[in-house]
A and B are shown apart, each in its own frame.
Chain A
């Protein structure tokens, strides 16, 4: 089913919160709209957003991979060419721990960043309504809904005195459906 997008732009926080409330009153669930801003607001400002994510799994997977790589580099290389030097054991645990530790941490760090990108849905190469005014301080309320509910979304967004309402097919700045 086709999904239509509507973006309401608000100058201040109060209007944006009012728009979120108006959307809920019009029967839109929290999953149907998202708030775009140029900096985070305290959680719950626009109502509870579904916060399910698996970011905490990523560093654990990365750490396990890094540890395995560290073990392979230290233990594997020494065993593949077993050259005894100075009567020291081939698998000398203290120096192995150093490399394995660094490998573990490197893996955890890299996978955490990959996890952040994955959970943030970045890089975003799809098409979505956006307006550069959001990074200037405007707050955007982006509604994704069925085509037959688009008019209702626009009506709800208008109730909160938007600066602009953009719909698919209109370009930013052309003010196609000014509230």
Chain B
């Protein structure tokens, strides 16, 4: 990353804090548009609570539908955020600076949205506490840890807690900055969150070490979470779910969709907040190269999953795989996955001029996530739609308008929360941008002056 724009301290502060103090017309459009879809989401969920799960397309044996598909999708999206942030911090990649904060925030809101789905899927969420915490000390009755539905919340809560702490720790210096520049309720809020930060050398040193330590700790958690989510399916006996490749396959799929979502977010931030000086074409270029590797890795696991299903020639597996690949509507999903998930975006990303085109990167990243949502549906639903030996009755799954509203509303929810966040907290880490300026150097190499960076290990 040799392209560099020298910016003054005051300029960086003013530009990066701009979304907090000014609301552009596009932001209003975002608030109103997303708020309207969110209102539909709230209505749909309330409708479902009032009338019961009968208003959804769920029926025996299709007891998992759009909400669980969407849960897996959002868990996947949440992955790339912290992964990008942690890996780029550990490798001291300079282009991490404008990306990490937004990626971490996206992780948290995606995880919260994902967690919402199993809760509303119970149909009686007010009883969830009773189900989740049956710690009956009087009779010594405990949840059975041998069930994957206990592993899942433990992994997701660990990831959510870790990601939130990670984000907060790196935000403390920016809270101090905001504290010194605001009045009223904002000053009170930032003063509390800044914890009395003063910016001495020891505090900066701890910030730097914390970045490395927390990155190193969060990465194994990130790998474990989607592995455990995949085991929700893989430890069952449902054909095509019962696969040993599921854990790494889910993880790489999560990275593919999540990194693409980070690209979408970068483009939106660049347009919405006019962060052209910070989210530059070189960043899209770098993340595009990363996506080629991640996308190709995902394609490999996708093909492995198909291969593992058909290689043993086990009739049930073969039948479901034939159903997936050749029968309506799953043949369309297969095409969507291949074309949107790989064969349109990846060949485009090979060319640098396309990687440095924000519009193309934005639309290809959207395509990937359309393909990846289709992949989640393709993975989860067909296995449930078939009659087996012990299935009393069976039927097709047709999502109702309530479930479709919930899925669309979940996108609005994440978008709305991201917008609200950017109105209260700086969406790009101000201190890390300034640190980048402090560490930037120019070296004389022969007759040339080249850009360089100070690195500390």
Partners in one complex: yes
Q: A-side interface residues toward B, CB under 8 Å?
A: 34-43, 46, 49, 51, 53, 55-56, 59, 73-74, 77-78, 80-81, 85, 88, 92, 95-96, 98-99, 101-103, 105-106, 108-110, 112-113, 116-117, 119-125, 128, 130, 132, 134-137, 142
Task: Specify the chain B residue showing the minimal Cβ separation from A41.
Answer: B438
Does chain A have a CB within 8 A of B205?
yes
Let me know if B195 and A59 touch, CB within 8 A. no
Q: Which residues in window 207-250 of B have CB below 8 A to A?
A: 207-210, 213-214, 217-218, 220-221, 224, 228
Let me know if A42 and B196 touch, CB within 8 A. no
Chain B residues with CB below 8 A from A36, complex form? 198-200
Let me know if A112 and B210 touch, CB within 8 A. yes
**Contact residue among A40, A43, A102, A132 (Cβ-Cβ distance under 8 Å from B435):** A40
| 7 cross-chain CB contacts under 8 A | A36-B199, A39-B204, A43-B456, A110-B165, A122-B203, A130-B198, A132-B181
Pairs A-B, 4 closest by C-beta atoms: A124-B196, A137-B9, A77-B142, A39-B434
**Contact residue among B9, B200, B218, B439 (Cβ-Cβ distance under 8 Å from A136):** B9
Let me know if A34 and B201 touch, CB within 8 A. yes
Let me know if B213 and A59 touch, CB within 8 A. yes
15 extra A-B contacts, CB within 8 A, seeds A42-B456, A134-B198? A41-B438, A42-B438, A53-B205, A73-B145, A78-B145, A92-B146, A103-B154, A103-B158, A105-B224, A106-B161, A109-B161, A109-B162, A110-B161, A113-B168, A123-B196
Does chain A have a CB within 8 A of B177?
yes
Query: What is the bound-complex CA distance between A45 and B45, given in angstroms?
Result: 57
Does chain A have a CB within 8 A of B431?
yes
Task: Specify the chain A residue showing the minimal Cβ separation from B439.
Answer: A42
Let me know if A81 and B221 touch, CB within 8 A. no
Chain A residues with CB below 8 A from B146, complex form? 88, 92, 95
Query: What is the bound-complex CA distance between A40 and B456, given in angstroms?
Result: 12
B221 shortest CB reach to chain A, Å: 5
Interface centre among A39, A81, A92, A99 (most CB of B within 10 A): A39
Query: What is the bound-complex CA distance between A59 and B438, given in angstroms?
Result: 30
**Contact residue among B169, B199, B205, B221 (Cβ-Cβ distance under 8 Å from A38):** B199
Q: Which residues in window 401-451 of B have CB below 8 A to A?
A: 431-432, 434-435, 437-439
Task: Specify the chain B residue showing the minimal Cβ separation from A118.
Answer: B206
Q: Which residues in window 137-163 of B have CB below 8 A to A?
A: 139-147, 150-151, 154-155, 157-158, 161-162
Does chain A have a CB within 8 A of B176?
yes
B289 shortest CB reach to chain A, Å: 28
Let me know if B196 and A122 touch, CB within 8 A. yes
Chain A residues with CB below 8 A from B145, complex form? 73-74, 77-78, 95-96, 99
**Contact residue among A74, A101, A124 (Cβ-Cβ distance under 8 Å from B198):** A124
Does chain A have a CB within 8 A of B197?
yes
Let me know if A135 and B158 touch, CB within 8 A. no
Chain B residues with CB below 8 A from A135, complex form? 13, 176-177, 179-181, 199
Query: What is the bound-complex CA distance between A116 and B454, given in angstroms?
Result: 24
Assuming the A-B contacts A105-B217, A112-B214, are A99 and B202 also in contact, with contact meaning beta carbons closer than 8 angstroms in the complex?
Answer: no
Chain A residues with CB below 8 A from B13, complex form? 135-137
B136 shortest CB reach to chain A, Å: 9
Query: What is the bound-complex CA distance between A92 and B144, given in angstroms?
Result: 11
Chain B residues with CB below 8 A from A59, complex form? 213, 217
- For chain B, the count of residues having a C-beta within 8 Å of the partner chain is 65
Let me know if A134 and B199 touch, CB within 8 A. yes
Chain B contact residues: helix, strand, loop or mixed:
helix
Query: What is the bound-complex CA distance between A77 and B144, given in angstroms?
Result: 8
Query: What is the bound-complex CA distance between A79 and B213, given in angstroms?
Result: 36
Let me know if A120 and B199 touch, CB within 8 A. no
B214 shortest CB reach to chain A, Å: 6
Query: What is the bound-complex CA distance between A20 and B456, given in angstroms?
Result: 22
Query: What is the bound-complex CA distance between A142 and B203, given in angstroms?
Result: 14
A16 shortest CB reach to chain B, Å: 12
Does chain A have a CB within 8 A of B10?
yes
Interface centre among A101, A109, A122, A130 (most CB of B within 10 A): A109
Assuming the A-B contacts A102-B155, A109-B162, A136-B13, are A39 and B200 also in contact, with contact meaning beta carbons closer than 8 angstroms in the complex?
Answer: no
B41 shortest CB reach to chain A, Å: 30
A7 shortest CB reach to chain B, Å: 10
Let me know if B214 and A113 touch, CB within 8 A. yes
A165 shortest CB reach to chain B, Å: 17
Let me know if A43 and B205 touch, CB within 8 A. yes
Let me know if B200 and A34 touch, CB within 8 A. yes
Chain B residues with CB below 8 A from A108, complex form? 217
**Contact residue among B173, B218, B432 (Cβ-Cβ distance under 8 Å from A109):** B218
Let me know if B434 and A38 touch, CB within 8 A. yes
B233 shortest CB reach to chain A, Å: 15
**Contact residue among A81, A99, A109, A134 (Cβ-Cβ distance under 8 Å from B151):** A99
Query: What is the bound-complex CA distance between A128 and B200, given in angstroms?
Result: 12
Let me know if A122 and B197 touch, CB within 8 A. yes
Query: What is the bound-complex CA distance between A51 and B209, given in angstroms?
Result: 12
Task: Specify the chain A residue showing the minimal Cβ separation from B208.
Answer: A40
Chain B residues with CB below 8 A from A123, complex form? 195-196
Task: Specify the chain B residue showing the minimal Cβ separation from A55.
Answer: B209
Let me know if B151 and A122 touch, CB within 8 A. no
Chain B residues with CB below 8 A from A120, complex form? 197, 202-203, 206-207
Let me know if A125 and B201 touch, CB within 8 A. no
Chain A residues with CB below 8 A from B162, complex form? 105-106, 109
Let me know if B172 and A49 touch, CB within 8 A. no
Task: Specify the chain B residue showing the minimal Cβ separation from A77.
Answer: B142
A136 shortest CB reach to chain B, Å: 7
Let me know if B224 and A116 touch, CB within 8 A. no
Interface centre among B9, B155, B217, B456 (most CB of A within 10 A): B217
A34 shortest CB reach to chain B, Å: 5
Query: What is the bound-complex CA distance between A135 and B431, given in angstroms?
Result: 9
